[in-house]
Amino acid sequence: MDAEIIAVGSELLTPYRLDTNSLFLTAELNRLGFHVRRKHVIGDRDEDLRDVFLRALERVDVVVSCGGLGPTEDDRTREIVAEVLGRRLKRNDEILREIQERFRKFGRTMPEVNARQAMVPEGAEPLENTRGTAPGLWLETDGKVIVLLPGPPAELQPMFVREVKPRLARRGAKMRLYTRDLRITGLPESDVDQRVASIYTQYAGTETTILASPGEIQLHPRVWSEDEPAALKLLDEMVKRFALALGENLFSTSGESLEAVVARELQEHRATIAVAESCTGGMLAARLTNVPGSSAYFRGGVVSYSNDLKSAWVDVPKELIEAKGAVSSEVALAMANGIRRRAASTLGVGITGIAGPGGGTPEKPAGLVHIAIADEKAAKERSFRFPGDRDRIRHQAAQAALDMVRRYFLYAPPAKGQ
C-alpha cells in the first residue's frame, strides 16, 4: 500500500528550515506496511494546498500531512481539506472544550482565535494532542485515509504513536518493510560500494542504500515482504556476506554509534580511558562522554592546545617538540603515554594534527593528523591525511581515534568475571 507525505508551511520553503518530520513518518509508515511514494513541501497558498491533496488522494491509499493546523488565518489545511472532500466545516465541541481546558491548566483564558482549531471537516475524528493545542484529524473517504498532524515534532511524534499507528495497523497491508543498519569506518564510500555492490545486486527484490558522512558509512539493506521469517533470514544472509566483504571496518550491524561500541568494549574489558587532544580540541572527549554512564570508563581528558601545556599537562618533553615539531608521531605517542599516567587509566590516547585552514606547510599540510594509543606495556601510532575543511578534518580525526580504541580490543579477550 502506498502513502504520500505533505509538509505544510511557508517557512519550509526558505533556505533555513527542512521538513524533518518525514523521516520519522517514513520509518513509522514503512513498519506499518506503507511505501512512501512521494513527499511534498508546500506553503500556505490555497491553490497549492488544494492541488496537492487532491492529486495525492488520486494516487495513494494514505495521505499524511504535517503543519498548517495552527490557530491563525495562515493555517488553512483544515479548510482546504474540507473543500477537497466536499464537506462542510463544523465546530467540534469536544475539541473546543479540550483546547479551553488546556489553556485553563496553564492559568490562561483561550484567545478567541484558537476557536478556529475546533472547526473541522464533517466526519473528521480528532486525534488527541497531549503536547499542544492543535488536535490532529483522521478522515476517511472512499476507502482512503487522510491524516492531518501538527508541525512541531514534539507534538506530532507522540500523536502518531498513540493515535495514528493503531488506526493504520488495522488497515495495514500484509507487506512490511524489513531493514538493517550497518555502520562502517575506515573506508571511503566508493570502496564500500565496490565491496558490497556485487552482493546486494544479487538479491532481487531488495534495495540497499549507502549513506556517507565524514569518517562513517551507513549501509541499509531493505526488503518488502509478507513473510517475516523469510525476510529476516534473507537480511541475515545479506548481512553475513556484507560482514565478510567489509571485515574489521564494519563496527555495527544494529545502527550503534562508534562511541557506543567503544563504550561497550571498555566496559566489557573493565578498562578505563583518558585522552589528550590538540587539533580535535575536545571532540574526542565529547564523543566518549556522549554515552550515558560514561563515568564508568572515562577518567578525563586534556586539550593541550598550546605547546607549553603539552609539556606541563601531559609531560611531552620540550626538546621533543623542538626536535620533531608539535605535530609529529613522537609527540602523539608522548601525549598518549603522558595522559595515561596522569589519569591512571588503562588506555591513553594522544591526538595532534593540523586542522587548518591555516598552519599547514608543504611537509605538514592541513589534514595531517597523528593519533597514538597507549596501554601499560606498549603504544602504537598512526598517521592520517584527512581531506576536507577544518570541521571535516576534526570529525574524521575524532572518529579515527575512536576506531583505534575499538580495534585495540578486537583481539583482546573480555575481562574475566569478578
Instruction: Give residues 345-364 in contact with its own copies (rule: CB under 8 A).
Output: 355-359
CB of 61 to its own copies, least distance (A): 16
CB of 92 to its own copies, least distance (A): 26
Q: Which of residues 191-220 bind its own copies (CB under 8 A)?
A: 207, 209, 211, 218, 220
* Distance from C-alpha of 372 to C-alpha of 387, rounded to nearest angstrom: 20
Count the residues of the shown chain that bind its own copies, applying the rule CB under 8 A: 72
Residue range at the interface with its own copies (CB under 8 A); choices 41-49, 165-173, 233-241, 376-384: 41-49
Q: Which of residues 18-37 bind its own copies (CB under 8 A)?
A: 18-20, 22-24, 26-27, 30, 36-37
CB of 235 to its own copies, least distance (A): 15
Given the complex with its own copies, which of 15 and 413 has the nearer CB atom? 15
Residue with cell 482512503: 144
Inter-residue contact 386 to 345 (CB < 8 Å)? no
Q: Which of residues 49-88 bind its own copies (CB under 8 A)?
A: 52, 55
**What does residue 415 show for φ and ψ, rounded to 5 degrees?**
-65, 150
Rg (Cα) of the chain, in Å, rounded?
27
Which residues, other chains included, contact 101 with Cβ-Cβ below 8 Å and sequence gap of 6+?
Answer: none
Residue range at the interface with its own copies (CB under 8 A); choices 80-88, 98-106, 293-301, 377-385: 293-301
CB of 171 to its own copies, least distance (A): 21
Beta-strand runs (E) in 278-359: 298-303, 347-353
Position 248: which residue type?
E
The answer to the question of residue 413 lying near its own copies (CB under 8 A) is no
* Distance from C-alpha of 67 to C-alpha of 357, rounded to nearest angstrom: 41
Q: Which of 11, 73, 236, 237 binds its own copies (CB under 8 A)?
A: 11
Given the complex with its own copies, which of 27 and 415 has the nearer CB atom? 27
The answer to the question of residue 290 lying near its own copies (CB under 8 A) is yes
The answer to the question of residue 280 lying near its own copies (CB under 8 A) is yes
Given the complex with its own copies, which of 265 and 277 has the nearer CB atom? 277
Q: Where are the alpha helices (DSSP H) in 106-212?
A: 153-159, 165-171, 189-200
Q: Where are the alpha helices (DSSP H) in 247-295?
A: 258-268, 283-288
Given the complex with its own copies, which of 59 and 104 has the nearer CB atom? 59
The answer to the question of residue 130 lying near its own copies (CB under 8 A) is no
CB of 162 to its own copies, least distance (A): 20
The answer to the question of residue 43 lying near its own copies (CB under 8 A) is yes
The answer to the question of residue 391 lying near its own copies (CB under 8 A) is yes
Q: Which of 87, 167, 222, 269 binds its own copies (CB under 8 A)?
A: 222
Given the complex with its own copies, which of 90 and 342 has the nearer CB atom? 342
Alpha-carbon distances, residue 94 vs 79, 80, 81, 113, 221 (angstroms): 19, 22, 20, 17, 45
Beta bridge partners of 6: 40, 65
The answer to the question of residue 40 lying near its own copies (CB under 8 A) is yes
Of 253, 232, 233, 258, which Cα lies nearest the Cα of 242? 253
CB of 410 to its own copies, least distance (A): 25
Q: Which of residues 324-343 bind its own copies (CB under 8 A)?
A: 342-343
Q: Which helix (H) or strand (E) holds 120?
A: strand 119-121
Inter-residue contact 182 to 242 (CB < 8 Å)? yes
* Distance from C-alpha of 376 to C-alpha of 353, rounded to nearest angstrom: 24
Q: Give the three-class secondary structure for 72.
A: coil
Inter-residue contact 338 to 350 (CB < 8 Å)? yes
CB of 120 to its own copies, least distance (A): 25
Question: Could you say which DSSP state residue 123 is in?
Answer: T
As given in the structure block, the three cell numbers for residue 295 are 563515568
The answer to the question of residue 103 lying near its own copies (CB under 8 A) is no
CB of 154 to its own copies, least distance (A): 10
Q: Which of residues 157-196 bind its own copies (CB under 8 A)?
A: none
The answer to the question of residue 289 lying near its own copies (CB under 8 A) is yes
Q: Which of residues 297-326 bind its own copies (CB under 8 A)?
A: 298-306, 309, 312-313
Which is it for the CA torsion 389, 392, 395, 400, positive or negative?
Answer: negative
* Distance from C-alpha of 7 to C-alpha of 126, rounded to nearest angstrom: 19
The answer to the question of residue 286 lying near its own copies (CB under 8 A) is yes
